[in-house]
Amino acid sequence: MYTLGVDIGSTTAKAVILENGERIVASSIIIATVGTSGVQNAVTEVLDKSGLRMEDMTAVVATGYGRQTYEQADYQISELSCHAIGAHFVFPDVHTVIDIGGQDAKVLSLNERGQLANFAMNDKCAAGTGRFLDVMASILNLKISDLEKEAAKATEPAQISSTCTVFAESEVISQLANGVKIPDVVAGICSSVASRVASLVRRVGVQEKVCMTGGVAQNGGVRLALEKELGVPILYDDKAQLMGALGASLYAFNKENKKNNT
Amino acid sequence: MTSKEIFAKLHEVAFNPKQQLNQYLADGKKVVLVTYYTPNEIIHSMGLVPMGVWGADIQLNQSKKYFPAFICSIMQSILELGINGTYKGASALVVPSLCDSLKCIGQNWKYAVKDIPFIPMSYPQNRKPDYGKRFTKAGYERVISDLEAITGAHFSDDNLRVSNHIYNEHNAVMREFAEVASEYEVSAQERSDVFKSAWFMLPEEHTTLVKELIERLKEGPKDSRKVRVLVSGILADAPQLLELFEKYGIKVAFDDVCDESRQYKKDVPETIQNPMDGLVEKFCSMDDDTLLYDADKKRVDYIVTEAQKHHAEGVIVLMTKFCDPEEFDYVPIKRACEKAGLHQVNIEVDRQMVNYEQAATQLEAFSELF
């Protein structure tokens, strides 16, 4: 049985095809915002990669910010539940999932069976999200993918406000004007995101093992800063950004499997 | 009338307070604007119509001149509506001193809305001791004297006794509605309409309608939704938000919302001979409320107890942005819910919400926990 999970996020569209809820056949990530052709491109790409057709999919599940708008979905489910399912699949003994996406941050608490038991989301504010990093990278004229290696070069990380993206932007400009080196500013930015997200994690409770999912998880600078803030190791997998789509695909498999067994 | 017809009427009132205001004015009545725990019985007893002001989901323009950016949007929108003439025709605005934001509105109102006088109602922090009761009584007497000077209406103990009784009856009916709405099929929007319309109608008119509604609801089907919650917060009236409750199959089993059930918990003890003393006793005996000082935070246990009593397995806290008292209470509420095995979620809301996507994700994920 093939199932397709589609995660339509605020800045990227992701798709994962699973075979029998066990093997990832193909995946795709397209940078595009909700409401564009991004989701269709992601689905086309994942089907091309797998050599399968849409008709081969037993079930399609949509999740993410744009889940309501994807008409080809058989079911839709919140991205929080999907990240919980996906993270449990990759790390069976994980109890806390930190998902930092393009425009929000979420912390999930999983019970012993890997089910979502509790969660917290950031306030309506860009601080502590991927958007914060986008804004800061743009000021520094860096690519997002450069942030990790720049942060690694830091010798005296700068202090950046964790309160507000707009204020932090001014702070970064002031730091640069004062001659602070770019790697130190970048390390300060990563710590700023980590500090903001850590308070959200503490709201739910730090229960090991802890993993990171979502696009920002790819940034080692933020991961390291979060490990320091929380004082626990943070698990990471290169499928971090696909975790929502993976969870959606697994949800589709479980749903169909249950249907077939009743 | 059928329950649908009564709900439609109350919805109309809840969404058209201006029409209600104009109707009362056309009938030759004087209208006094009221907010949270204002002595509505006194206003009513003087032949005036108390009408609630809880702001509106509008763009804030002129009111921003008077407040810092990070302050309660409910209060800001009340001032905005005052400035833009929405309350035109009202005789006065009575505001209690129950939170820091409410304390701010008076002076700004005096400067910004010159045609509607502001009457402060100063409540004591410590309301239980005798000196707290005397302070409360002095506050009520100040309201009476201001109302008499502004409107020309007169106060009498006998009239207050009658109004106390009318309000007690309304309280009882609203409490019964909350119980019936918990058991029978009532949508989140319909439930909200009943509570919200109460702020824009005379209590005796509202009592009659809600009494009839209760009888009709009891003839209908019982609610069978799986996800039953207690909703807590300052306000829970945004239609887009209430729609999400329906979309994700969430039943409001009970509430701890400022402009809903919190208003109807206590009656004036009619056994107290002096009706003013009775009204003072009503306020001073109130508890379990964000804005009423309580070092022991008994409200936390109240929320858990009421959730369990109403077979709710979850608590949804609708956190009004920049509301310090509510934010202070949230941590113990969260811990108590977790200890009691109740799911809980904190959703930030304010009067200027245009996008409910984040709330939708939280409510959808919350419903998936059950």
Ordered per-residue pLDDT tens for chain A, 262 residues: 999 999 998 889 999 999 999 999 999 999 877 677 888 999 999 999 999 999 999 999 999 988 888 999 999 999 999 999 999 999 999 999 999 988 889 999 999 888 999 999 887 677 778 888 888 888 888 888 888 899 999 999 998 876 677 778 888 888 888 899 999 999 999 998 898 899 899 989 999 999 999 988 888 889 999 999 999 999 999 999 999 999 999 999 999 998 888 7
Domains of chain A: 1-91+238-262 (3.30.420.40), 94-236 (3.30.420.40)
**Residue of A78, A120, A123 with shortest CB distance to B361:** A78
Average pLDDT, integer, range B259-266: 96
What pLDDT does B352 receive? Answer: 80
Residues of A in contact with B348 (CB under 8 A): 123-124
Q: How far apart are CA B51 and CA B40, in angstroms?
A: 9
Instruction: Verify cis geometry, omega within 30 degrees of 0, for the bond prior to A209.
Output: yes
Mean confidence (pLDDT) of chain B: 95
- The pLDDT of residue B234 is 95
Predicted confidence at residue B107, as pLDDT, reads 86
pLDDT at B268 over 80: yes
Mean pLDDT lowest among A128-132, B104-108, B238-242: A128-132
- Which residues of A sit within 8 Å Cβ distance of B? 65, 77-81, 104, 116-121, 123-124, 203
Average pLDDT over residues B318-333: 93
Q: Do A80 and B365 touch (CB under 8 A)?
A: yes
Partner A contacted by B249 (CB < 8 A): no
- Using alpha carbons, select from B127, B126, B142, B198 the residue that is nearest to residue B166: B198
Q: What distance in Å separates the CA atoms of residue B136 and residue B47, rounded to the nearest whole number? A: 22
The string of pLDDT tens digits covering residues B147-183 is 999 999 999 999 999 999 999 999 999 999 999 999 9
B296 inside 8 A of chain A by CB: no
Contact criterion met (CB below 8 Å) for A121 and A105? yes
Whether the per-residue pLDDT at B299 is higher than 90: the answer is yes
Residue B348 to chain A, least CA–CA distance (Å): 7
The answer to whether residue B48 scores a pLDDT higher than 80 is: yes
Q: Does the distance separating the beta carbons of A120 and B365 come in below 8 Å?
A: no
pLDDT in tens, B197-218: 999 999 999 999 999 999 999 9
Dig out the tokens for A48 from the structure: 């091309």
Phi-psi region of B5 (alpha: psi -120 to 50; beta: other; left: phi over 0): alpha
> Is B73 within 8 Å of chain A by CB?
no
Asked if B352 is an interface residue toward chain A (Cβ–Cβ < 8 A), one would say no
Please, which residues have CB within 8 angstroms of residue B196's CB and are 6 or more apart in sequence?
A: B14, B237, B259
CA distance A135 to A18: 35
The three-class DSSP label of residue A192 is helix
Alpha-carbon dihedral sign for residues A146, A152, A154, A157: positive
Place of tokens 């991205």: A79
A174 vs B93, higher pLDDT: B93
Phi, psi of B83 (to 5 degrees): -65, -40
The SS3 of residue A155 is coil
Q: Do B362 and A65 touch (CB under 8 A)?
A: no
Phi and psi at residue A147, in whole multiples of 5°? -60, -40
- Report yes or no: B369 at the A interface, CB cutoff 8 Å: yes
Bridge partners, residue B95, by sequence: B120
- Say if the Cβ atoms of A121 and B362 lie within 8 Å: yes
Tell me the C-alpha distance between B251 and B183, whole Å.
10
The alpha carbon of residue B336 is apart from the nearest alpha carbon of chain A, in Å, by 14
pLDDT > 90 in chain B, percent: 89
According to the model, what pLDDT value does residue B102 have? 87
Given a contact cutoff of 8 angstroms between Cβ atoms, the answer to whether B139 and B147 are in contact is no
Question: Which three-class secondary structure string do you get for B41-86?
Answer: HHHHHCCCEEEECCCCCCCCCHHHHHCCCCCCHHHHHHHHHHHCCC
Selected for mutation to probe chain B from A124, A202, A204, A207 (highest B CB count within 10 Å) is A124
* B311 contacts: CB under 8 Å, gap ≥ 6: B228, B253
- B25-38 mean pLDDT: 96
Least Cα distance to A204 among A94, A121, A87 occurs for A121
pLDDT given for residue A226 in this prediction: 93
A contact test, residue of B361, B362, B363, B367 with most A CBs within 10 A: B361
Angle at B281 between CA B277 and CA B289, to 5 degrees: 150
| B342 pLDDT more than 90 | yes
For residue A4 the two structure tokens come to 């397709």
pLDDT over 70 percentage in chain B: 100
Provide the pLDDT for residue A162. 61
* CA A65 to each of CA A62, A128, B113: distance values in angstroms, whole numbers, following the listed order: 10, 18, 42
Note the pLDDT of residue B271: 96
Cβ <8 Å between B358 and A78: no
The predicted structure's pLDDT at residue A163: 66
Interface test with B, best of A80, A166, A202 (most B CBs within 10 A): A80
The token pair at A114 is 């890997």
Q: Cα separation of B303 and B230, whole Å?
A: 8
Nearest Cα residue in chain A from B320? A123
Q: For residue A36, what pLDDT is reported?
A: 76
